[in-house]
Amino acid sequence: MGNPTIRGFTLPMQVALRRDRLRLAGSLSSPGAPPKPKLLDQVRHAIRARHYSLRTEEAYAVWVKRFILFHGKRHPMEMGEQEVNQFLTDLVVTKKVSASTQNQALSALLFLYQHVLNKPLRRLEELVRAKKPKRLPTVMTKPEVKAVLSPLEGTPKLVGWLLYGTGMRLLECLRLRVKDIDFALNQMVIRDGKGQKDRVTMLPMTIKEKLREHLKEIQQLHEKDVATGFGSVFLPDALARKYPNAEREWGWQYVFPASTRSRDPRSSVIRRHHLHESVVQRAVKEAVRRAGLTKPVSCHTFRHSFATHLLEDGYDIRTIQELLGHKDVLNQAGGRGVRSPADTF
């Protein structure tokens, strides 16, 4: 009798195919060669080599894993555009995901095939796209902004005033370093914002002294950490190698550090990270409830309100785009010469 077949392949052919898959996954390697990393480890290494954030790394790894499971644990090297189309279309048709979720999954798979497998995807014409709804952003009036910010206390209150007074995104604010605040020029530098770009914005006068007092308290906390053998902060790999002692310097510390130290998921070093965004989000949600607002207000609403109120104060759209960090505008003037809406109450 001939060799038995399954799905059109002879048994020896299936054994060979299985061995190839194992090699691609890193389970087998050539004699004398170091073991090849598993596929998800290769994805993580490629992401870190390009200095993507930990959030992006975790999201991409999840999407790659879901793609593989969707196709019965087949290795991505055995698949291509057709299988990617099927997976992304199923997300929309069956899972009913949003356009942004589908786009994230697509970005993860494009990254996998281009930067890990060296097999760029060419044709995705059959992909069913999720429709992105066109919604107007929620904007608060100045009295509503004050009603939301007033009941906030401590760090969330200071963060809230900065979000409204500068137009920063929440994570941009929480990732501020001490050295990025210039009290002499009344401005702040927002590093590595969306699109990995830096920009300059104003320092609202209404919170300038409160921010000074906050930094004094944070400096005392940092000094205690250093005295107990800690006090280091996360730095991008290139900076960490170039300035090995910078991680304990005061200027590199986060303006809004977490209340406790934690283990870095990449390096396993115990250090104090920045405050988690959920702390501010929960505080703002409660403040909105207490203010009695029926609008769907979130931390990002402060950014929309910032832009709208600057327009109402007579500033041109190009200046506002610059302060918001939109990619189609050159960042030259920064925050100088523009009065923060937080200073107009």
Average pLDDT, the chain: 85
Q: CA–CA separation, 60 vs 114, rounded Å?
A: 13
pLDDT exceeds cutoff 60 at 331: no
Question: What pLDDT score does 31 carry?
Answer: 55
Question: What pLDDT score does 191 carry?
Answer: 87
Question: What pLDDT score does 89 carry?
Answer: 92
In this structure, what DSSP letter does residue 274 have? B
Share of the chain above pLDDT 90, in %: 62
pLDDT exceeds cutoff 80 at 327: no
Question: What pLDDT score does 4 carry?
Answer: 44
Task: Domain 37-116: give its CATH superfamily.
Answer: Tyrosine recombinase, N-terminal domain (1.10.150.130)
Q: CA–CA separation, 335 vs 323, rounded Å?
A: 7
- pTM for this model (two decimals): 0.76
Type of residue at 223: E
Share of the chain above pLDDT 70, in %: 85
Q: How confident is the model at residue 206 (pLDDT cuts 50, 70, 90)?
A: very high
User: Which helix H or strand E contains 79, and what residues bound it?
Assistant: none
More confident residue, 205 or 28: 205
Contacts of 268 (CB under 8 A, 6+ apart): none
Please give the backbone phi and psi of residue 182, each rounded to the nearest 5 degrees, phi first.
-110, 100
Question: What pLDDT score does 316 carry?
Answer: 84
Q: CA–CA separation, 190 vs 193, rounded Å?
A: 6
Give the 3-state secondary structure of residue 284: helix
Q: What is the mean pLDDT of residues 143-149?
A: 96
Neighbours of 45 (CB within 10 A): 14
pLDDT exceeds cutoff 80 at 61: yes
Question: What pLDDT score does 137 carry?
Answer: 87
Return the exposure string of 232-265: e unless at least 16 CB atoms fall within 10 Å of the residue's CB, then b: bbbbeeeeeeeeeeebbbbebbbbbbeeebeeee
pLDDT exceeds cutoff 90 at 64: yes
Q: What is the mean pLDDT of residues 251-259?
A: 96
**What are 30's two structure tokens?**
């050539």
**What are 154's two structure tokens?**
């401590």
pLDDT exceeds cutoff 70 at 329: no
Q: What is the mean pLDDT of residues 33-61?
A: 88
pLDDT, one tens digit per residue, over 2-27 is 444 444 445 555 545 555 454 444 54
Question: What pLDDT score does 135 carry?
Answer: 76
Secondary structure E strands in 117-248? 181-182, 187-190, 199-202
In this structure, what DSSP letter does residue 249 have? S
CA triple 52-58-61, angle to 5 deg: 100
Q: How confident is the model at residue 28 (pLDDT cuts 50, 70, 90)?
A: very low
Q: What is the mean pLDDT of residues 62-66?
A: 97
> Could you state, in order of their start, the residue ranges of all structural domains in the chain?
37-116, 142-343
Task: Domain 142-343: give its CATH superfamily.
Answer: Intergrase catalytic core (1.10.443.10)
Q: What is the mean pLDDT of residues 253-280?
A: 93
Q: What is the mean pLDDT of residues 321-339?
A: 63
Q: What is the mean pLDDT of residues 172-200?
A: 89
Q: Which of 127, 108, 130 is nearest to 117 (CA)?
A: 108
Give the 3-state secondary structure of residue 201: strand
DSSP string, 109-134: HHHIIIIISS------TT--PPP---
Using an 8 Å Cβ cutoff, are 167 and 306 in contact?
A: yes
